[in-house]
Structure 1
Amino acid sequence: MRKIIFIVLWITVCVSESMAQARVILPDSLQVTPRQAPHDHQHEMEEPFDTVNLVLPAATVWYLHPRSGDRLVAAMDTLKHNYQQTTIPDGYSVAGGYLGPIGSPFISKIFFEQDETSHFPFYDAYRPYNKSPEQHLFYNTRVPYANLTYQTAGSRPVKEQRLKALLTTNFGKRLNAGIEGDLISAKGLYRSQENKHNDWSLFGNYLSDKFESHLLASTSTVKQFENGGITDERFILDPESVGENFSTGDIPVKFTNTWNKMKTNHLFFSGKYNIGYNDRSADSLGSGKFVPVASLVITSHYTGQDRRFLSYDTAQVTIEGQAMQRIDQFYTNRYYNTAVDDSVTFSSFKNSVALSLREGFKPWVKFGLTGYIEHEVRNFSMIDSVGGNIGRSKHRENSLFIGGILNKQQGEHFRFNLQANLGMAGADLGEVNLEGEVETAFNLAGKRTELSGHAYLRNITPNYLQKHYHSKYFWWDKELEDVRRAFVGGRLHIPFTNTTVNAGVENLQNYIYFDQERTVAQHAPNVQVLTAGVDQNIRLGVFNWDNRVVYQTSSNQEVIPVPSLSVYSNMYLKALIVNELTFQFGVDAHYHTTYFSPGYEPALLQFYNQREKEIGNYPIATVYANMHLKQTRFFVMLYNAASAVLKPREYFSLPNYPVNPMMFKMGLSVDLHN
């Protein structure tokens, strides 16, 4: 069925490409500000979006701020350089942990890249694949635009595939609509490791001088088969010692016939009404150019999520004289005796109203100001024990926030963004978030050098599923204190040496995490985390050597474990052939020093702090060729190539979870637009 849908989509793309369309001009009121990356603690403010002198590409692309309704400019997905790295889990961070195949749960081992725990934490492990409204791209196109991307690795029956498709077009100069799909099917080279993702979204926007609106409807399903990890590391570290021929599918694992299922639905709407005047001096022959002075923004966002953990690994075994189901032997507690069937549902309905004063509507107005009020209703449901039977408990809570944004995003030499919000009532009463960013630029050796700083102060109320969770193997109801976080950091980019330096330090109090017992714990004393990083790119003709080095230290490695040193190094040759084909050939590697990396618990779909096994001191390397010809990108890759020459083969990403052995991968991405 999925193949049929994509064939229909492909035919639609081809038909739309063959139809001539009049050129679409964006409305004069388009005000797009630089995107502030929400998860990067060394934020990089991009160049201002000049709506006067800009020569528009085939499509203009932006993210949408969920509260202010501001459009945050983003780059088109047309990356030529290192395209192959965007197709593997390792490419999401300098150092990351995952279960092996693409689409499996992932955690960054760089602490400042880890997000706050969400209200539905089971989906946090899939953040690289998440399609929330804050991460969704909106378009305004001159001509129909489409992108088709396909990647594959391995052979049947362990094939790994990902297929992505995007089609968007304008209907006149004001209305845009699009559809996007992202399908992942990874069988997994190890037993009981298959995962499937089906993500679909419909989106659109309407832009005029006085009214702007955005709409997104998306659905995502994930089915993750769980094996609990391998039980004998000799099959990876020293396969010769096993004394027999075997495939990765023969390596014993903890359990089978067990899986997590998740579903997420989003319905998001944002409407902005602009109040302003017509400037006749800009258009003396007509009614004048519309200049927005203030805006009224209304936003609604519904989220529905559910997660189910099931196991048919119920064969009876006897452990230390006690009869139990086979999967039960891996857990200390059992709160009911039937087969595992845990489920949690969550829904949220969030509405906000904002009033903003626009930056630059007069020469003396040097900044923009936005104030907002936001209300959210959340519903939770999970299993509970009622009269000896397993029933369900339900919980509803409300939250009310007020906040403001003060920013200056125009100008070349000084920009800033200050945000504050306060929980005024309900479950988040007393929550505080104060955050600021500032950027300046100056000339150094004739080059524009950028210096930026970022700081925040947060008082965070624990969410409901951190305080309460009920399942067969884990059951807790806890009183947790507010988490306090204070961070300050900065970034310096030196263009004439192609160097970027960043550093940051954070103090955390009442930090919440999963401990060695795989249950929620809170550490009251202060913990400090320091990070410093250097990006250094070297160019000598066709020879290139890109490096990113991150140093981290934690004052308490049992609470916040981090590797001391993480490195991504990429050495390659890059040349333009016959003025058409860009060819890149090289070898790269991700590496970090040994440390007690997080463990993964399938029954919670969470990463936890373990002190049994150190991971690291082994490069995950690839040999690749990356090509770009006009509107087509193509790569071939030999993944985990170091395992062919290095012994022992310690290619574990997480304890008991090795990455895939050496395998061939390839991918293709085609952009289509008139």
Structure 2
Amino acid sequence: MTIRPFLLSVLLLVSAAAWAQRPERNNYNPYEVRDIEEIPDEIKMVRGDKLRAYRITPSVARATRVEMPDTLTHYTFEYISPEFRSLGVSYQGNMNHAWQSKLFFDRARRVGDFFYTDGYYRMLYTPDEVRFYDTKTPFTFVRYQRNFKTNESEDVVAGDFGVNMGKALNLGANFDYRNAQGFYTNSRSKDARYRLFGSYRADRYELYAYIANDYYKQEENGGITNADYILNPDRYTNGRTKVSAKDVPVQITERLTNRIRSGHAYLAQTFRLGHYTTVQRKPTGKEHQDTELLGDTLSLDSTYFVPVGGLSLTTYYNVQSRRLQTQGENDLWKNVFGEPVVTQTRVPDGGGTPVAYAFPNDTAQLTTLHNTLALSLMEGFRPWVKFGLSAYLRQEQNWAKLPNATTHLYGATERFSSTFIGGLIERREGTGLNFSGRGELGILGSDLGAFKIEGNLLTTFRLFNRQFALEADTYIDNARPSYFAAHHHGTYGWWDKDLKFTRRIELGGKVHLTSWGTQLEARTASLQNYIYYGAKGEPSQLTDLMQVLSLRAKQVGSVGVLNWELEAAYQTSTNESVLPLPRLAVAADIYVRFLVAKVMRIDLGVKGYWHSAYYAPYYLPTTQQFILQSEGKVGGEAPLLNAYANFRLKRARFFLQMYNVTEAFTTGSRLSMHKYPYNPMYLAGGVVVDLNN
């Protein structure tokens, strides 16, 4: 009860000063066709054009300029939290445990070949997501974050470093270490990730390379046993003020741990063909005055390289492994997971009949090697060349390892390979209309007959003195099913299935009303042979055609110092027993923004998340999948509210966040998904600093 007057006092205290000083706010439209240098300071670091970031276009090894990472200064308080990943998120409370979006179109389009990592979607290094840099001065970008708890501490230490060794060569490193004790019994996670990278950008030769490792270790508790501890905590206080999260009983009280490892090596090389061109520019300013005084004409020449085409070779090597392990035998495993498929035997002390027992120690490993050769014709090397063309040939090798039932060790390695041909057409430098289209076809190996087609179209225009942007995209996929979804060997699940190719046709469109800060989106998908996981965790396929529809809207605006960002999504599927989704999901961020002494910017606000009730999935530790359940619905209760204060002073950003302030006003449900609650209310803080000038 003491939280409410505290929050009200803070808001009243700052409101008077807020109206006195208000910084300018520039709405940034990420879909507008314009040069990257015009991105306002709200998005881009204050280094301006001295620090550039690039992302590699898959298959053709071409670098594309993108915004700097971790530069959304308003969202410093939740940039690395699960809530920031989607409008609605199912997860286990701990920030680094496996998660799944509650919005269908925010999920991965395919089940991964190593499907144990699907719960870490967008949390792993991948060649199409990592960034390379070009900087005129060295940069060191550091983040530190923790909550103010002793026994349930969460610590985050992360950083980015980059330096240019001359004009063409850049070297750098990323690291990310997170140690979260967890609020509930057996919910700890300990994670470490790093990447060492380098790039060389010359006129005729480009190289991008990195080595990286992802390591995630999470303890499993199987969720809580009695949601009444969350719904009606007063019944269990025994005279105390509140029920501690550690007092809430969980299904697994013994140590059970999942470990995910992923090691990468990536190398992309491009040999560019082209010519040097010299252009003459007119003298300006002082140069023009000097030429008039001398009575002479001064020609100022500029020579630059014009790329016509490129030949690229990309190599990607990845080793992924997973291990589910416990410290010993226990009848508890049978109570939680049912009868084991694989057992071991031991002779009781003193002799007698051997006794069968379960000892979870499941392993799996996938090694992949991809080599891609691409030939590209560059956009704009002549005024009449309005788009670029690329063709590529990719060869994939895969080696899968699973234990056998006799020795519980790895059996024979399963090897499968595939060959793809593909093409890309794109226009990225247009002033009114840009587009891209890509297609590929499996011509040899296990992916024979698989194909994928994707494309998007973007145009901007002005109408009635208002700025508009229209975007449309399509995605057609006929894919070989995930190998490890079809083959899983574990103590509490063992199957080898013949899954059919999955098919997906997706259409989407967006309207950006930039002048009003409004965005509207409609999206639909037709799915066949959709893979889902039943109550026992085994995969099945829906052979019938299933439709998914989503309507989404977002509005950003401000009046005086008051700012808001509102977003809502409506979605439905034609088979809710196979694909349950919340019909409505909304998020609202309301905050005041003001300046102190004209140098420190402060945002004070509350952000909330809510969705309608539905049969949310259950996370199954034995396969690390989100499975169907019909025992109870999640949602429709009080929203998840987080209060925050963001501060920005030159190159430093720091924040305070009160997570789940809903608990200060109500004792309603706080389940994220079936049997897994959000964390209780706590205070956290952090700082993000650019250490260099």
Length-normalised TM-score, structure 2:
0.87
1:411-450 aligned at under 5 Å gives the runs: 411-450=430-469
Give the match for residue 672 of structure 1: 691
Asked whether the equivalents of residues 48 and 409 of structure 1 are also in contact (C-alpha less than 8 Å), the reply is no
Q: Which runs of 5+ in 1 are unaligned?
A: 1-42, 316-324
Taking a change above 3 Å as real, the CA distance of residues 404 and 45 of structure 1, as seen in their structure-2 partners, is: farther
Give CA-to-partner distance per residue, 1:455-500, whole Å, 9 cap, x none. 1211111121121111111011111111111111100110221100
> How far apart are 1:332 and its partner, in Å?
2.9
Give the match for residue 595 of structure 1: 614
Asked whether the equivalents of residues 31 and 469 of structure 2 are also in contact (C-alpha less than 8 Å), the reply is no
Taking a change above 3 Å as real, the CA distance of residues 362 and 478 of structure 1, as seen in their structure-2 partners, is: same
Is 1:90 equivalent to 2:109 in the alignment? no
Give the match for residue 379 of structure 1: 399
Give the match for residue 334 of structure 1: 340
Give the match for residue 94 of structure 2: 101
**Distance across 2 between alignment mates of 1:112 and 1:235:** 33
Is 1:179 equivalent to 2:173 in the alignment? yes
> How far apart are 1:446 and its partner, in Å?
2.4
Amino acid of the residue matched to residue 221 of structure 2?
A: N
Asked whether the equivalents of residues 114 and 483 of structure 2 are also in contact (C-alpha less than 8 Å), the reply is no
1:141 pairs with one of 124, 135, 142:
135
Asked whether the equivalents of residues 32 and 469 of structure 2 are also in contact (C-alpha less than 8 Å), the reply is no
1:294-373 aligned at under 5 Å gives the runs: 294-312=309-327, 314-315=329-330, 325-338=331-344, 339-373=359-393
> How far apart are 1:594 and its partner, in Å?
0.4
Asked whether the equivalents of residues 49 and 73 of structure 1 are also in contact (C-alpha less than 8 Å), the reply is no
Give the match for residue 548 of structure 2: 529
Taking a change above 3 Å as real, the CA distance of residues 171 and 106 of structure 1, as seen in their structure-2 partners, is: same
Taking a change above 3 Å as real, the CA distance of residues 343 and 426 of structure 1, as seen in their structure-2 partners, is: same
Greater shift in the superposed pair: 562-571 or 148-157 = 148-157
Give the match for residue 524 of structure 2: 505
Give CA-to-partner distance per residue, 1:17-64, whole Å, 9 cap, x none. xxxxxxxxxxxxxxxxxxxxxxxxxx9646344799999623100111
Secondary structure of 1:94's partner?
coil
Is 1:543 equivalent to 2:569 in the alignment? no
**Distance across 2 between alignment mates of 1:578 and 1:50:** 31
**Distance across 2 between alignment mates of 1:544 and 1:52:** 23
**Distance across 1 between alignment mates of 2:520 and 2:368:** 40
Give the match for residue 59 of structure 2: 67
**Distance across 1 between alignment mates of 2:300 and 2:372:** 40
Is 1:481 equivalent to 2:500 in the alignment? yes
Give the match for residue 662 of structure 1: 681
Give the match for residue 627 of structure 2: 608
> How far apart are 1:445 and its partner, in Å?
3.4
Greater shift in the superposed pair: 617-626 or 191-200 = 617-626
Secondary structure of 1:560's partner?
coil
Secondary structure of 2:373's partner?
strand
Give CA-to-partner distance per residue, 1:192-237, whole Å, 9 cap, x none. 0000110011001000000000011001211110010111112111
2:273 pairs with one of 272, 275, 281:
275
**Distance across 2 between alignment mates of 1:312 and 1:50:** 53
> How far apart are 1:391 and its partner, in Å?
5.5
> How far apart are 1:448 and its partner, in Å?
2.7
**Distance across 1 between alignment mates of 2:408 and 2:419:** 36
> How far apart are 1:333 and its partner, in Å?
3.4
Is 1:156 equivalent to 2:153 in the alignment? no
Greater shift in the superposed pair: 446-455 or 91-100 = 446-455
**Distance across 1 between alignment mates of 2:629 and 2:38:** 55
Give CA-to-partner distance per residue, 1:255-313, whole Å, 9 cap, x none. 12100012110000000111001113358877932100000010000001110001125
**Distance across 2 between alignment mates of 1:632 and 1:102:** 24
Give the match for residue 246 of structure 2: 249
Percent identity over the alignment? 31
Asked whether the equivalents of residues 33 and 432 of structure 2 are also in contact (C-alpha less than 8 Å), the reply is no
1:653 pairs with one of 656, 669, 672:
672
Amino acid of the residue matched to residue 239 of structure 1?
A: P
Asked whether the equivalents of residues 36 and 65 of structure 2 are also in contact (C-alpha less than 8 Å), the reply is no
Secondary structure of 1:204's partner?
strand
Give the match for residue 304 of structure 2: 289
**Distance across 1 between alignment mates of 2:35 and 2:61:** 16
Is 1:117 equivalent to 2:111 in the alignment? yes
**Distance across 2 between alignment mates of 1:663 and 1:597:** 25
Give the match for residue 395 of structure 1: 414
Q: How many residues matched?
A: 621
Give CA-to-partner distance per residue, 1:133-165, whole Å, 9 cap, x none. 221111000100111101111422210111101
**Distance across 2 between alignment mates of 1:65 and 1:128:** 17
Give the match for residue 28 of structure 1: none
**Distance across 2 between alignment mates of 1:516 and 1:637:** 37
> How far apart are 1:66 and its partner, in Å?
2.8
Asked whether the equivalents of residues 189 and 248 of structure 1 are also in contact (C-alpha less than 8 Å), the reply is yes
1:120-269 aligned at under 5 Å gives the runs: 120-244=114-238, 245=240, 246-255=243-252, 256-269=254-267
**Distance across 2 between alignment mates of 1:46 and 1:117:** 32
Taking a change above 3 Å as real, the CA distance of residues 222 and 53 of structure 1, as seen in their structure-2 partners, is: closer
Give the match for residue 495 of structure 1: 514
Amino acid of the residue matched to residue 84 of structure 2?
A: G
**Distance across 2 between alignment mates of 1:348 and 1:48:** 38
Taking a change above 3 Å as real, the CA distance of residues 229 and 313 of structure 1, as seen in their structure-2 partners, is: farther
Amino acid of the residue matched to residue 654 of structure 2?
A: F
Give CA-to-partner distance per residue, 1:597-654, whole Å, 9 cap, x none. 111000101111211121112311111111111101111011000122123x210101
**Distance across 1 between alignment mates of 2:431 and 2:144:** 39
Asked whether the equivalents of residues 280 and 300 of structure 2 are also in contact (C-alpha less than 8 Å), the reply is no
> How far apart are 1:331 and its partner, in Å?
2.1
Aligned CA RMSD, in angstroms, stands at: 2.0
Give the match for residue 319 of structure 1: none
Give CA-to-partner distance per residue, 1:171-211, whole Å, 9 cap, x none. 11000000111001000000000001100110010000000
> How far apart are 1:561 and its partner, in Å?
1.2
Give CA-to-partner distance per residue, 1:315-355, whole Å, 9 cap, x none. 3xxxxxxxxx3212222331222311000011001000000
**Distance across 2 between alignment mates of 1:477 and 1:60:** 48
Asked whether the equivalents of residues 32 and 460 of structure 2 are also in contact (C-alpha less than 8 Å), the reply is no
Deviation beyond 6 Å, 4+ runs, structure 1: 50-55, 283-287
Amino acid of the residue matched to residue 107 of structure 2?
A: Q
Taking a change above 3 Å as real, the CA distance of residues 282 and 61 of structure 1, as seen in their structure-2 partners, is: farther
Greater shift in the superposed pair: 54-63 or 175-184 = 54-63
Length-normalised TM-score, structure 1:
0.89
> How far apart are 1:250 and its partner, in Å?
2.3
